[in-house]
Structure 1
Amino acid sequence: MKHIFVLFLSLILLILPGCSSEESAADTGKKTLTIYSTMSTDSERNTFRKLASAFEKESGIRVSIHFPGNDYENMMRVRMAANDLPDLFDTHGWGKIRYGEYTADLRDMDWTQNLDPNLNSILKNKSGKVYAYPINQAKDGLAYNRNMLDRFGIDPPETMDDFIKALRTIKEKSNGEIVPFWFAGYDKSSFAQYYDQFATPLLITDPAHNEKKQLIDGTFNWSKFTYLSDILKQMQKEKLINIDAVTAKKSQLIELMAQNKIAFTMQGGTLGQDVAQINPNVKVGIIPTPAIHSDDDPIWIGGERYTLAAWKDSPHLKEAKQFIAFMARPAHAKEMAEATSLPSGLTNVKADIFYAKDYQHYQNMKVEPYFDRLYLPNGMWDVMGTVGQELAADILTPNEISKKLGREYKRLREQSETQGAENNE
């Protein structure tokens, strides 16, 4: 049965993007590197294409780039099942856990000497294998409207209590005209981001509330997660989040922030520079994720954002590493970091990015990996997004949400273990 399934997946691969371009490249006698990436904005993609074109001219090697968007993960699952991956691909936060067995070891490449130590636990294993080249690195926290905080005399919050107080002050002093904390809940990832980002200070970083072992071995008591749903529901009842949190779309965010109608949101990336293009008088900043427990400190949530991993069985592995080396040149790494408005993954690259002053100001704050990437089975991100929507729509209570998360956590762990056993047969 398993062999039939793999055969079916192999047939699907014939219609995936990239095959036709590889065949046409063979007609010209040139080698072609196929690259899959999760880059989403025009500025990111255009800069990547420009650099790939420069590589083609310099090396004589063709490059076929694909941006599957929301279909990326499904396409990569199909390719992994058939052991037929692109020559280069984006591990999008799963370099070790999901893609590790398929990636070539890059430890002997020159740029690894400048790998940011913050990424060591995410992109290296204990024996020294380097899984991917980090085009940039995420440092997620809370994006905020500096104008609003200055106007109402609010300091950037460092704890959850301070954050709630700030939201209440904004609502009161603006007479409800400004949304204190804005969610784009039509895309459930907005709620998933909330749960995932605040789960780390709730359950990991404070020694007195550390649940690492229980999360990893499957014994975690999900009632301890209820706090996050309680806080979110409390914010909704007090109208500290937008009343259309379930139906609001990401496409609305830039315009609303540019109109001074939003104080805080969880969207980072190019938000600040996008808002500045519409209204340069609105200043957007970013702060680390506030601490939840009294003895803890704020943290950045992050790690790898966009990467280039080389498929270990690629027939063009030498050329794939050649492309990575090209992208890792300081000038090129700087260009990509600036296009994505995120710090470079290399210590010898200083990019002029929009939030540079904020990152410099909070440079001593720890960077913690995304919660779901270390402690949850594959599929839990979607579950967290769905329950967030159900909470905001009054379909489930906070306690019911924790019970559902516990059931799905168990189901997905068992599913993952079963698939792992089948793959080893």
Structure 2
Amino acid sequence: MKNVTRLLILFMVFAVFAAGCGSKGASSGDGGKVTLTLFSTMSNKGERAALESVIADFEKENPDIAIEANFPGNGYEDMLRVKMGANDMLDLFDTHGWSQLRYGEYVADLKDMNWVKDLDPALDQILKDESGKVYAYPLNQAKDGISYNVKLLEQYGIKPPQTMDEFVKALEVVKNKSKGDVVPLWIPGGENGNIAQIFDQIATPYLITDKENGHGDELLDGSFNWSKYDQLGELMVDLKKKDLLNKDVLTAKQSQVTELMAQDKIAFTFVGGSLGPDATELNPEVKVGTIPVPAVHKGDAQSWIGGERFTLAAWKDSKNLDEAKEFIEFAAKPENVKKIAEGTSSTAALKNAEVDNYYSEFYKQYEEVKVEPYFDRKYLPSGMWSVMSTTGQELLAGTLTAKQLSKKMEEEYNRLRKQ
């Protein structure tokens, strides 16, 4: 079935290209008008509407340039792999977290553009290299942490936790004071990528940010001792044993989270994004807050996990590179930075715009907290996300122990590093 799906995706890819989507044919003969091709990973209507609005404004101001935007959804990565293999990229494309590792050799250097001076320094390590090359323009930035029900925490006398010990204690208080009516930590594990997301976020405080317990260099050079990964699995097993997770953790779907939060049935969840505004729309009495990922080791600080969420990179060999950069510069105007950040319920990646979205007060409260890159994107070889997904689900199903999970991670890590 997977092979059939892949063939269908590839058929769709070639059909799109045959219809004239390739960058080599982007300049049309319509009175010298240039058509730029743009691919994005934006998935929901609100996100797409924000970008399409900026595109429409640009086309009004630049009648000689048209932008053909495409949103391939789940087929995005397959399409881009085909394009990279043919060295025929889009004029503009979303690097979705892989601006350097996957797409670095295809993107133009944007360091001389006007907006670079306004780039949030938190994104420097993600979008710049040691030479100063800037790989992509960030339309917004991700600050992933833990979402929580503000009213419930106030009701139970719980302060937003700053450490992992405080977090576990908070979950226990919810369980006891709600007498089981509220799920302390709700995980939509029926889609195993959501379990991988949790492992990806907590790996940073366990393995990266603390000076005495930082193993980033070892993960990068292949010398990491994977027994140190046991503690992540042990935490998840402990939470399940203490009955601090939803009983349907292995079958729950993310589509359920909004209604459950609106009904005050969830205290904490790693689901973020539009959860807050969507839940409040269903029940105006509900307010969803967000906190950075708690610190694990004594003396360490909390961390936001994220970096680039949606980006625009320009293909370095595009015949329309000047026009592509022109659109990027237009998107970086303060009014457009604001429009896209608010339309995607995210924080702005540039400091030149005041953004007011659902979570603004929480981002302001934790504005000094550093944004760390996604663990798998920086420290693991490509392909490890699916391993984190399946092993995490097997752990919660009881078919793997924490040590066995670490062993499988190590085996796949070593295998994929050789590819």
TM normalised by structure 2 equals 0.94
Can you give the 5+ residue segments of structure 1 that lack an aligned partner in the other structure?
A: 1-8, 416-425
Assess, with a 3 A threshold, how the Cα gap between structure 1 residues 201 and 79 changes in structure 2: closer, same or farther. Answer: same
In 2, Cα distance between the equivalents of 1:10 and 1:284? Answer: 40
1:212 aligns with 2:216: yes
In 1, Cα distance between the equivalents of 2:107 and 2:19? Answer: 20
Other-structure match for 2:234 = 230
1:120 aligns with 2:124: yes
Amino acid of the structure 1 residue aligned with 2:43: S
1:352 aligns with 2:356: yes
1:321 aligns with 2:325: yes
Q: By how many angstroms is 1:16 displaced?
A: 3.4
Map 1:66-105 onto structure 2 (within 5 A): 66-105=70-109
Point out the more displaced range, 402-411 or 58-67: 58-67
Q: By how many angstroms is 1:28 displaced?
A: 3.8
Per-residue CA shift, 1:328-374, capped at 9, x if unaligned?
Answer: 11101110000111111111111111111111111111111111111
Match of 1:340 among 344, 347, 361: 344
In 2, Cα distance between the equivalents of 1:91 and 1:49? Answer: 18
1:273 aligns with 2:265: no
Q: Residue 15 of structure 1: SS of its match in structure 2?
A: helix
In 2, Cα distance between the equivalents of 1:298 and 1:66? Answer: 37
Other-structure match for 2:297 = 293
1:251 aligns with 2:255: yes
Q: By how many angstroms is 1:414 displaced?
A: 0.6
Map 1:29-68 onto structure 2 (within 5 A): 29=31, 30-60=33-63, 61-68=65-72
Match of 1:26 among 17, 22, 28: 28
Q: Residue 244 of structure 2: SS of its match in structure 1?
A: coil
Q: By how many angstroms is 1:19 displaced?
A: 3.9
Q: Residue 16 of structure 1: SS of its match in structure 2?
A: helix
Can you give the 5+ residue segments of structure 2 that lack an aligned partner in the other structure?
A: 1-8
In 2, Cα distance between the equivalents of 1:156 and 1:327? Answer: 36
Amino acid of the structure 2 residue aligned with 1:292: V
Per-residue CA shift, 1:41-65, capped at 9, x if unaligned?
Answer: 2111111112212222221211111
In 2, Cα distance between the equivalents of 1:288 and 1:10? Answer: 39
In 2, Cα distance between the equivalents of 1:39 and 1:94? Answer: 15
Q: Residue 220 of structure 1: SS of its match in structure 2?
A: coil
Assess, with a 3 A threshold, how the Cα gap between structure 1 residues 105 and 24 changes in structure 2: closer, same or farther. Answer: closer
Other-structure match for 1:309 = 313
In 2, Cα distance between the equivalents of 1:346 and 1:337? Answer: 10
Per-residue CA shift, 1:198-226, capped at 9, x if unaligned?
Answer: 11100111111111121111111111111
Assess, with a 3 A threshold, how the Cα gap between structure 1 residues 234 and 18 changes in structure 2: closer, same or farther. Answer: farther
In 2, Cα distance between the equivalents of 1:10 and 1:229? Answer: 37
Q: Residue 26 of structure 1: SS of its match in structure 2?
A: coil
In 1, Cα distance between the equivalents of 2:328 and 2:217? Answer: 36
Q: Residue 309 of structure 1: SS of its match in structure 2?
A: strand
In 1, Cα distance between the equivalents of 2:218 and 2:339? Answer: 42
Q: By how many angstroms is 1:383 displaced?
A: 0.8
Assess, with a 3 A threshold, how the Cα gap between structure 1 residues 134 and 67 changes in structure 2: closer, same or farther. Answer: same
Assess, with a 3 A threshold, how the Cα gap between structure 1 residues 411 and 21 changes in structure 2: closer, same or farther. Answer: closer
In 2, Cα distance between the equivalents of 1:284 and 1:175? Answer: 22
In 2, Cα distance between the equivalents of 1:15 and 1:179? Answer: 47
In 2, Cα distance between the equivalents of 1:25 and 1:96? Answer: 28
Asked if the contact 2:10/2:79 (under 8 Å) is kept, the reply is no
Q: Residue 67 of structure 2: SS of its match in structure 1?
A: strand
Amino acid of the structure 1 residue aligned with 2:48: R
Q: By how many angstroms is 1:17 displaced?
A: 5.9
1:414 aligns with 2:407: no
Amino acid of the structure 2 residue aligned with 1:26: S
Q: By how many angstroms is 1:13 displaced?
A: 5.1
In 1, Cα distance between the equivalents of 2:351 and 2:120? Answer: 5
1:129 aligns with 2:133: yes
Amino acid of the structure 2 residue aligned with 1:51: V
Amino acid of the structure 2 residue aligned with 1:356: S
Other-structure match for 2:5 = none
Q: By how many angstroms is 1:20 displaced?
A: 3.7
Amino acid of the structure 2 residue aligned with 1:16: V
Q: By how many angstroms is 1:176 displaced?
A: 0.7
Map 1:135-214 onto structure 2 (within 5 A): 135-214=139-218
Percent identical residues: 53
Amino acid of the structure 2 residue aligned with 1:373: R
Asked if the contact 2:110/2:134 (under 8 Å) is kept, the reply is yes
In 1, Cα distance between the equivalents of 2:367 and 2:308? Answer: 17
In 1, Cα distance between the equivalents of 2:93 and 2:414? Answer: 30
Amino acid of the structure 2 residue aligned with 1:121: Q
Other-structure match for 2:16 = 16
Assess, with a 3 A threshold, how the Cα gap between structure 1 residues 101 and 290 changes in structure 2: closer, same or farther. Answer: same
Other-structure match for 1:423 = none
In 1, Cα distance between the equivalents of 2:73 and 2:286? Answer: 30
In 2, Cα distance between the equivalents of 1:19 and 1:197? Answer: 41
In 1, Cα distance between the equivalents of 2:26 and 2:114? Answer: 33
